[in-house]
Amino acid sequence: MKKTETQKQRRRAVHAYALLFFVLALGSASAEKKMNILFLLTDDQAYRTLGITGNDQVKTPNIDRLGQHGLVFDRHYDTTAICMGSRANLMSGMYEYKNGCNFDHGAMGTKQWSTSYPALLKEAGYRVGNAGKFGFAVKDNRNVDQRGIEGTGVKETFDVYLTKGGQCNYTTAKNKDLGTYEKENPHLTQALAAASIDFMRDAVEEGRPFCLTVGFKAPHKPLEPDPQFDHIYKNTIWKKPGNYGREAGLHLAEQSRQDRQYKRYWDEAYSTDEKYQSTLRKYHQLIYGVDVAVGKIMRGVEELGIAENTVVIYSSDNGYLLGSHGLGGKALPYEEGARAPLIIYDPRSPKRGTMRRTTSLTGNVDIAATILDVAGVGIPDVYDGKSLLPIVADEHSKVRETLPIIQVFGQEGTRCLSVINGEYKYIYWFYEGEGMKATEELFHLTKDPLEMTNLASNPEAQPVLNKMRKEYDDQVRRWAEQTIDYNGYQEYGVLLDRQVDWEIKARLIPEKDAKYIPGTKTF
């Protein structure tokens, strides 16, 4: 029987609709595969400040739960252990000498910002947000005007950009754009939780995948914890680590004692038992507030029905010395200052819900690459960071063998470069002014986690020392080859070189009156 023209048209229409449905279904499936990313970043949180990282005096059930269902990274380091430089590393995926941003140096250029994870995710159609501390400057030229902190193009990258680029204030009312949260959440930490939930809800209603970076100020100074939690550690008597105090730092390089980490912070916060107990009580109370906020945010994820397609990353921009070796603050490459917590929860992992840990070496530069990988966005060749998803899939795998820890901030005497391979750490202090001599330090981290024995002069450790020297020299060579040619980074290709005489280096030392970026004196 011959088909009429009408029947043919009807059949073509059916085929067309079927094809359209198939295309739409593919698009829908593709959209469903887009993962949301929630990056929770604290400020100045030492590695051993969570129950899940071995502290039996703290109460951090919500953060611990993330680790119990995800993966805890036990060898995670901030490659620049100071907030401005570290946050630039985190977002750019590049080492400091390539992104060009830190105190005493200057702002990140728009070229580096253009390949940051917020910028690339915005291009990929993500709803991108920053709530809380941003923490570094971005400018669009090399003639850096250091009066600005947010810089050209940063706000435009974010669909939602709450508070400001520099330090936030613990009083919600004193933070830009958070006034609507003041009544129910007078303390910033809880206000950020409420703002995060609103951001995620809006993204769900828009039907867009999101990437939200939550920059908690806690537990950064000034130590102003939420008074509703005053009872939590009221009667806690904090233990002191085995490397606590000035005597536990006498074996370290003299250069480590040349700046505020030794000269000021110890006296302010740790020099007496009364100061120590008060400091630790407030510090951990701030972290407890973060834990409560994390609990709220994760409940929000569940209630919004996005738990199955939301990857959660929890970390800190640097550690905190807390009196170890008679030091306070951060910046220095010792474990307490440079090592930080890292937890990744990926609901796609077949191992989720199983408590897992990894000793694979990772750095803060790896966060950006990981976020892009989660989103299915290509990782730029310029990145130093590596995606950590292979380790999330198999905690025994590795993405790197070594990692540099860069310290070119503050007093000249404390500037140095360190290389770590997970088992050993090598530090080279190049400064020889004021009667000091260039000094090497070598620590066996797995046997000496408190870094109480410098093996650099131990004859039995010479094979390891030579190996680590080579790794160090390789890092210096990469620095010299890849550094930007402004913001004072080129000089360090020479300053850090073990083979160059001090007489030559002394001519390259930065001006002693280098200023911090105005408006960011507390960091």
What is the predicted pLDDT for the residue at 352?
84
248 part of a folded domain: yes
Residues 188 and 235 reside in one and the same domain: yes
Question: Are 407 and 416 within 8 A, CB to CB?
Answer: yes
What is the predicted pLDDT for the residue at 179?
87
| Domain limit, last residue, from 400, 420, 446 | 400
Condensed to tens digits (0 to 9), the pLDDT of residues 232-288 reads 999 999 999 999 999 999 999 999 999 999 999 999 999 999 999 999 999 999 999
Look up residue 309 and give its DSSP letter.
G
Residues 315 and 428 reside in one and the same domain: no
Task: Tell me the β-bridge partners of 187.
Answer: 171
21 part of a folded domain: no
For the chain, what percent of residues have pLDDT higher than 70?
88
Condensed to tens digits (0 to 9), the pLDDT of residues 15-60 reads 443 433 333 333 333 345 699 999 999 999 999 999 999 999 999 9
Question: Are 212 and 129 within 8 A, CB to CB?
Answer: yes
Number of domains composing the chain: 2
Residues 276 and 332 reside in one and the same domain: yes
For the chain, what percent of residues have pLDDT higher than 90?
83
Residues 454 and 485 reside in one and the same domain: yes
Q: Which amino acid appears at position 257 of this protein? A: R
16 part of a folded domain: no
Question: Are 213 and 41 within 8 A, CB to CB?
Answer: yes
> What is the residue range of 351's domain?
36-400
2 part of a folded domain: no
Q: Mean pLDDT check: name the lowest of 43-47, 135-139, 181-185, 421-425.
A: 135-139
What is the predicted pLDDT for the residue at 176?
81
Residues 46 and 188 reside in one and the same domain: yes
pLDDT at 394 over 90: yes
Q: CA 88, 91, 93, 97: dihedral to nearest 10 degrees?
A: -10
What is the predicted pLDDT for the residue at 152?
52
**Where residue 140 falls among pLDDT bands split at 50, 70, 90?**
low
pLDDT at 521 over 90: no
What is the predicted pLDDT for the residue at 224?
98
| Domain limit, last residue, from 362, 377, 400 | 400
Condensed to tens digits (0 to 9), the pLDDT of residues 276-325 reads 999 999 999 999 999 999 999 999 999 999 999 999 999 999 999 999 99
The CATH number that applies at residue 368 is: 3.40.720.10
Provide the terminal-to-terminal Cα distance of the chain, rounded to the nearest Å. 84
29 part of a folded domain: no
Q: Say how far apart CA 294 and CA 514 lie, in whole Å.
A: 38
Q: Count CB neighbours of 260 within 10 A.
A: 16
Residues 499 and 366 reside in one and the same domain: no
Give DSSP secondary structure letters for 14-72. Answer: HHHHHHHHHHHHHHHHHHHHPPEEEEEEESS--GGGSGGGT-TT---HHHHHHHHHSEE
What is the predicted pLDDT for the residue at 30?
39
**Where residue 511 falls among pLDDT bands split at 50, 70, 90?**
low
Question: Are 168 and 188 within 8 A, CB to CB?
Answer: yes
What is the predicted pLDDT for the residue at 153?
65
pLDDT at 373 over 90: yes
pLDDT at 351 over 90: no
Residues 121 and 178 reside in one and the same domain: yes
What is the predicted pLDDT for the residue at 137?
87
Residues 394 and 427 reside in one and the same domain: no
What is the predicted pLDDT for the residue at 520?
36
Condensed to tens digits (0 to 9), the pLDDT of residues 456-508 reads 999 999 999 999 999 999 999 999 999 999 999 999 999 999 999 999 999 99
10 part of a folded domain: no
Residues 353 and 482 reside in one and the same domain: no
pLDDT at 142 over 70: no
Question: Are 383 and 350 within 8 A, CB to CB?
Answer: no
Residues 396 and 463 reside in one and the same domain: no
Question: Are 311 and 37 within 8 A, CB to CB?
Answer: yes
Q: What is the mean pLDDT of residues 186-191?
A: 98
Residues 373 and 443 reside in one and the same domain: no
8 part of a folded domain: no
Condensed to tens digits (0 to 9), the pLDDT of residues 419-456 reads 999 999 999 999 999 899 999 999 999 999 999 999 99
What is the predicted pLDDT for the residue at 144?
45
20 part of a folded domain: no
The CATH number that applies at residue 501 is: 3.30.1120.10
**Greater model confidence, 518 or 86:** 86
Residues 369 and 465 reside in one and the same domain: no
| Domain limit, last residue, from 400, 429, 445 | 400
Q: What is the mean pLDDT of residues 397-418?
A: 96
What is the predicted pLDDT for the residue at 148?
39
